[in-house]
Amino acid sequence: MNRRLAGMLKQAPPAPHRIGRGPMKVRNSLRSLKNRHRDCRVVRRKGRVYVINKTQRRFKARQG
């Protein structure tokens, strides 16, 4: 098998995106993201810090 084919076989397939939902932003700091909308809230779940917004679902983020 030549090297180009061997390299292609090692690569993982792209992750499927969920239809109807945008991806969650992953940032080192959530300070600027919590001010994007007036309903944004910072919550801690399972050791991770999230910014959630129940009125505008697109304003969501995770730290780390």
Looking at the whole model, is its pTM more than 0.75? no
Mean pLDDT, rounded, for 11-35 = 75
- State residue 14's pLDDT score: 64
Which single residue is written with the structure tokens 């910072």?
Answer: 42
Percent over 90 (pLDDT), the chain: 42
- State residue 20's pLDDT score: 54
Q: Residue 7 belongs to what H/E stretch? A: helix 3-10
pLDDT in tens, 39-60: 999 999 999 999 999 999 999 9
Both tokens assigned to 4? 């180009």
